[in-house]
């Protein structure tokens, strides 16, 4: 496949071989694994055009991101619709092939978010558009809701699942294997009958399912019209060698498997999800399900950044030439956005995207590191966008105008207009007056602080705390209707006192689950972010994807 070096991928010449097809040219940044381009030069190439059940290039691995569905199931990770749309846009920029946008039947809010994202990617003429996928259990209502939500996308997909391990069939489904096969095939066929040409099926807990039963049910759903078969290691139980063997066995023994795509979905309970995912791809899976920062229930999922960078670094040499279509330079921004919106802080030693991932004891700016760079580093920070080259040449300072701020924010992945832009601009001016260098991190902190917030009911105008003797706090709250209230309270500490003072005014019974505060940028004049996780005592509920239970969702500030 032809590849050329160009500054702006969007203006890359389109190879003639693809001009005659009906499929759009995909002008993505594609950094082929094994080669390391300089940070300035980016290889432009073509992503194979999208056919649900077939990939023209046998070495291409599709990236299926489920940050918005499985990732959002993390305790406390609930995101607003606006935040989800923002992340979806960043995932598209990153070049993911499929975005699992949510579980539409679980709640009205989830339905609306998936629908909004599907409409965002409804353009028929851009090859960059990712597939938009909605989750559904194997029942008609779930599948209908999922289709209603995703059908506006230019490439819609329904993903349906049912458990196939003996323990799940016995205790959760209370169904015989025959009943499970029947349910799966009729529901896959039902999804196709609605007009959805792209249907993914997952046998839940495949890692612990009987092998022969797995071949049987997978063979039957292929006949029923499934185009991707996803093999989840639901409890994160298998070792890489076992998971690789599972994929190889399925590939070797399932009737009709050559007509569909095999996918992996690995949980991280034993810390093996990245290795299992790569083992699966090496054994024949051509779709991998991952999340940004590896978020998800319990110990989370395989993380996009680890899987993508492992394939990029070792694909040519150790994985028979596997590669992905991810533009890795957008990884850091995606990671920061998901960290901020989900409230799930990543640890400093998180591989690829952790604060220390490229730092040595003596700090990331240490001169000495430079001479050892190739001896200790296998990935350049620039490869993942860490020392981002300023593509537009915009450097912001206190004299910068609204237009420059808008352009810069677009570059960082935030599309901001109107009142939001006005608010951001005035905050930006205030910070720029106090701070010499406005870093990208400062801007991201400002955005998440000011713009993507829910509607205000009470605004906290001021809080004063002290602890001479007992801890006390005084708070001043302003209601949306203009009412002002001042209240004070004592407590076991300043946070406790401040919360009690707020409670005296607001009077909504909530449970405080978590409180944390961290500096998001460096230096003594850093911008700090606080995270408060609460659960209302009679609050919004949603349906859990796997257990089917109704759960109280947690909210954060």
Site residues (CB under 8 A) for its own copies, limited to 268-297: 268-272, 274-276, 278-279, 282, 293-297
Between 209 and 227, whose beta carbon lies closer to its own copies? 209
* Of residues 259 and 356, the one with the C-beta less far from its own copies: 356
Cβ nearer to its own copies, comparing 203 with 236: 236
Nearest CB to its own copies, comparing residues 115 and 238: 238
Total of chain residues touching its own copies, rule CB under 8 A: 113
Query: Minimum CB separation from its own copies for residue 392, in Å?
Result: 27
Q: Give me the 228-247 binding string for its own copies, x by CB under 8 A, dash otherwise.
A: ------xxxx-xxxx-----
Q: How far is the CB of 138 from its own copies (least distance, A)?
A: 17
Phi-psi region of 28 (alpha: psi -120 to 50; beta: other; left: phi over 0): beta
Q: Taking the complex as a whole, how short is the minimal distance between the CB of residue 528 and its own copies, in angstroms?
A: 6
Q: Please give the structure tokens belonging to residue 221.
A: 């759903």
Q: Name, in order, each residue with C-beta under 8 angstroms of 360's C-beta and a sequence gap of 6 or more.
A: 366, 369, 376
> Does 172 participate in binding its own copies (rule CB under 8 A)?
yes
Distance CA 362, CA 375 (A): 16
Among positions 52, 75, 321, 381, the unique one binding its own copies when judged by CB under 8 A: 75
| 359, 404, 407, 540: which one binds its own copies (CB under 8 A) | 359
Q: How far is the CB of 514 from its own copies (least distance, A)?
A: 6
Count of positions (residues) in the chain? 557
455's tokens: 């509607």
Nearest to its own copies of 17, 516 (CB atom): 516
Identity of the residue, 130 or 343, whose beta carbon is nearer to its own copies in the bound complex? 343
Touching its own copies, residues 508-537 (CB under 8 A): 511-519, 522-528, 535
CA nearest neighbour of 308 among 388, 410, 202, 385: 385
d(CA 161, CA 338): 26
| Per CB under 8 A, 73 contacts its own copies | yes
Residue 198 CB, nearest distance to its own copies (Å)? Answer: 28
Least distance between its own copies and beta carbon 367 (Å): 10
Give residue for tokens 């992340």: 87
Of positions 357, 384, 432, 447, contacts its own copies by CB under 8 A: 357
Pick 239 or 457: Cβ nearer its own copies: 239
Contacts with 312 (C-beta within 8 Å, 6 or more apart), sequence order: 31, 33, 34, 323, 324, 326, 328, 383
Residue placing its CB nearer to its own copies in the complex, 90 or 489: 489
> Does residue 256 contact residue 222 with C-beta atoms inside 8 Å?
yes
Phi-psi group of 146: left, alpha or beta (phi > 0 → left; psi -120 to 50 → alpha; rest → beta) = alpha
Judged by CB under 8 A, the residue of 362, 389, 390, 456 near its own copies is: 362
Return the number of the residue (236 or 325) whose C-beta is nearest its own copies.
Answer: 236
Task: From residue 316, give the alpha-carbon distance in Å to each of 94, 371, 396, 486.
Answer: 21, 27, 40, 64
Residues in region 315-354 near its own copies by CB under 8 A:
318-319, 344-352, 354
Residues in region 378-437 near its own copies by CB under 8 A: 378-379, 431, 434-435
Stretch touching its own copies by CB under 8 A, among 82-90, 165-173, 221-229, 446-454: 165-173
Query: Shortest approach of its own copies to residue 265 CB, angstroms?
Result: 15
Across-strand partners of 423? none
Which is closer to its own copies, CB of 1 or CB of 460?
460
- Select the residue interacting with its own copies from 252, 426, 467, 508 (CB under 8 A): 467
C-alpha–C-alpha distance, residues 416 and 463, integer Å: 30
Tell me which residues in 20-49 interact with its own copies (CB under 8 A): none
Helix residue ranges per DSSP H, 412-439: 418-434
DSSP of 485-534? EEEEEEESSHHHHHHHHHHHHH---EEEEEEEEEE-SSSTT--EEEEEEE
Q: Is the dihedral of CA 19, 24, 29, 30 positive or negative?
A: negative
- Footprint (CB under 8 A) of its own copies, residues 174-213: 205
CB nearer to its own copies: pick between 139 and 166: 166
CA distance 475 to 480: 16
C-alpha distances in angstroms, 353 versus 203, 379, 428, 479? Answer: 31, 11, 26, 40
Residue 484 engages its own copies in binding (rule: CB under 8 A): no
């Amino acid at each position: 496949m032809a590849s050329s070096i160009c500054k702006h991928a969007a203006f890359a010449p389109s190879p003639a071989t693809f001009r005659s097809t009906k499929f759009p040219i995909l002008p993505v940044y594609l950094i082929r694994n094994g080669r390391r381009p300089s940070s300035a030069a980016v290889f432009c190439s073509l992503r194979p055009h999208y056919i649900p059940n077939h990939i023209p290039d046998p070495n291409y691995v599709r990236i299926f991101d489920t940050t918005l569905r499985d990732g959002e199931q993390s305790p406390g990770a609930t995101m607003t619709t606006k935040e989800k749309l923002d992340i979806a846009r960043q995932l598209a920029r990153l070049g993911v092939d499929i975005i699992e946008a949510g579980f539409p039947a679980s709640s009205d809010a989830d339905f609306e978010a998936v629908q909004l994202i599907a409409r965002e990617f409804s353009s028929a003429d851009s090859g960059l558009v990712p597939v938009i996928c909605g989750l559904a259990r194997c029942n008609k209502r779930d599948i209908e809701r999922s289709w209603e939500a995703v059908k506006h996308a230019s490439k819609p997909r329904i993903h349906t699942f049912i458990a196939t391990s003996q323990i799940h069939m016995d205790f959760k489904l209370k169904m015989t294997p025959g009943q499970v096969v029947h349910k799966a095939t009729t529901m896959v066929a039902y999804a196709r009958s609605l007009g959805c040409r792209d249907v993914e099926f997952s046998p839940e807990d495949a890692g612990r399912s009987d092998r022969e039963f797995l071949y049987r049910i997978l063979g039957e759903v292929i006949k029923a019209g499934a185009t991707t078969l996803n093999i989840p290691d639901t409890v994160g139980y298998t070792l890489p060698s076992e998971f690789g063997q599972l994929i190889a066995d399925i590939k070797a023994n399932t009737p009709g498997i050559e007509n569909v795509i095999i996918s992996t979905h690995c949980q991280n309970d034993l810390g093996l999800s990245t290795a299992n995912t790569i083992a699966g791809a090496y054994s024949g899976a051509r779709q991998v399900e991952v999340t940004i920062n590896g978020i998800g229930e319990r110990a989370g999922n395989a993380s996009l950044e680890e899987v993508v960078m492992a394939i990029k670094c070792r694909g040519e040499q150790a994985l028979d030439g596997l590669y992905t279509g991810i533009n890795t330079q957008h990884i850091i921004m995606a990671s920061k956005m998901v960290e901020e919106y989900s409230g799930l802080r990543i640890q400093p030693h998180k591989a690829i995207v952790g604060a220390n991932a490229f730092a040595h004891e003596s700090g990331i700016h240490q001169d000495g590191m430079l001479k050892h760079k190739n001896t200790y580093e296998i990935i350049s920070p620039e490869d993942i966008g860490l020392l981002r080259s300023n593509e537009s040449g915009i450097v912001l300072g206190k004299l910068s105008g609204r237009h420059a701020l808008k352009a810069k924010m677009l570059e960082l992945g935030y599309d901001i207009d109107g009142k939001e832009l006005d608010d951001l601009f005035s905050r930006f001016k205030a910070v720029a007056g106090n701070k010499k260098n406005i870093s990208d991190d400062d801007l991201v902190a400002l955005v998440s602080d000011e713009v993507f917030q829910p509607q205000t009911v009470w605004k906290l105008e001021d809080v004063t705390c002290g602890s001479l003797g007992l801890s006390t706090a005084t708070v001043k709250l302003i209601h949306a209707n203009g009412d002002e209230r001042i209240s004070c309270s004592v407590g076991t500490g300043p946070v406790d006192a401040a919360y009690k003072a707020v409670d005296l005014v607001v009077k909504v019974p909530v449970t405080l689950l978590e409180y944390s505060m961290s500096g998001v940028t460096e230096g003594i004049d850093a911008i700090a972010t606080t995270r408060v996780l609460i659960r209302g005592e009679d609050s919004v509920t949603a349906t859990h994807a796997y257990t089917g239970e109704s759960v109280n969702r947690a909210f954060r500030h």
